[in-house]
Amino acid sequence: MRKIALGTVQFGLDYGLTNPSGQVAIDEVRKILIFAKKNEIDILDTASGYGNSEQVLGKIGVDNYQIITKTISLKNGVDRVIDGFYQSLDNLGQKQVEGLLIHNIQDIENKQFNILFDKLNKLKKEGLIKKIGFSTYTPEQVSFLLENFDFDLIQLPFNILDNRLVDSGMFKVLQNRGIEVHARSVFLQGLLLMNEKNRPSKFRRWDALWKTWHEWINDNQITVLEASIRYVISIPEISKVLVGVDTKDQLKEIIVASYGFLPNIPPELHTTDVNLLNPSNWDRL
């Protein structure tokens, strides 16, 4: 599946609302990777901050995959970030990576950031990194980056409830600038896949939205998984759609669900409520 890419945070950490089994065992990771490759999924997204995800990938062997990884925090200095990148290469058993993203967007406020950015571009010229970019959380951050930096790749959260980047025209700007877009959190950390019974009570404040969501799903005789993945894949400016799985069967289910008809999305399904759209706000609900 050409547009799907594989997120690997579950390979190194116990992660996600809908993950009952904890960190994925290495034997299952191996099965997932083999199945992914057979289905034309060859981009793996990881980070040194994802527990031992990089080490797990390196142990299995990822020579036949394109790797996107991320920087460590700049708070301890530029040299530590560069050393961290070389450590990532060592962990992964790779001589280069497809992409390196600034993991902590707040690093751009550090007075040493321009020095770091210059050094990353030097590593790009040396062939150790093919694409440099940023991992973002909000449309405002995307807008700021477009105004202030030249970069190749951006990772951002996007899902069927969140149309802000479409409505603002920012997806078009990214496309016109030749910036590759990778979408993550397409299931809103599993929240979109839950029914009323297993959705945590703190999300009851959006009951009207959930009612619209499930009525639309039922009326169109599709599943929440099919609607969620098909919508993000349908956005032409998105190059890759990141999915995280705990088993090979889950990945198979996502691939199967990604094919098929997508009904028209009712405008009342979209929301701009950042308390719902940004999972970093959920602890305060």
CATH code (residue 49):
3.20.20.100
- Residue whose token pair is 């099965």: 31
pTM over 0.85: yes
Backbone angles phi, psi at 66, to 5 degrees: -95, 130
Please check the confidence at residue 15 and state whether its pLDDT lies above 60: no
86-115 mean pLDDT: 97
Instruction: Identify the CA nearest to 250 among candidates 14, 69, 17, 28.
Output: 28
CB of 139 closer than 8 Å to CB of 173 = no
- What percent of the chain stands above pLDDT 70? 97
Q: Total domain count for the chain? A: 1
If you average pLDDT over every residue of the chain, what do you get? Answer: 94
pLDDT of residue 106: 95
20-34, 47-61, 230-244, 251-265: least confidently modelled range: 20-34
Within 8 A by CB and 6+ apart from 156, the residues are: 135, 136, 137, 142, 165, 181, 182, 183, 184
Domain residues for the domain of 155 are 4-284
> pLDDT tier at 23 (50, 70, 90 boundaries)?
confident
Q: What is the pLDDT of residue 13?
A: 81
Number of Cβ within a 10 Å radius of residue 40: 11
Assess whether pLDDT exceeds 90 at residue 260. yes
Of 254 and 15, which is predicted with more confidence? 254
Average pLDDT for 105-134: 97
pLDDT at 17: 46
pLDDT at position 19, please? 47
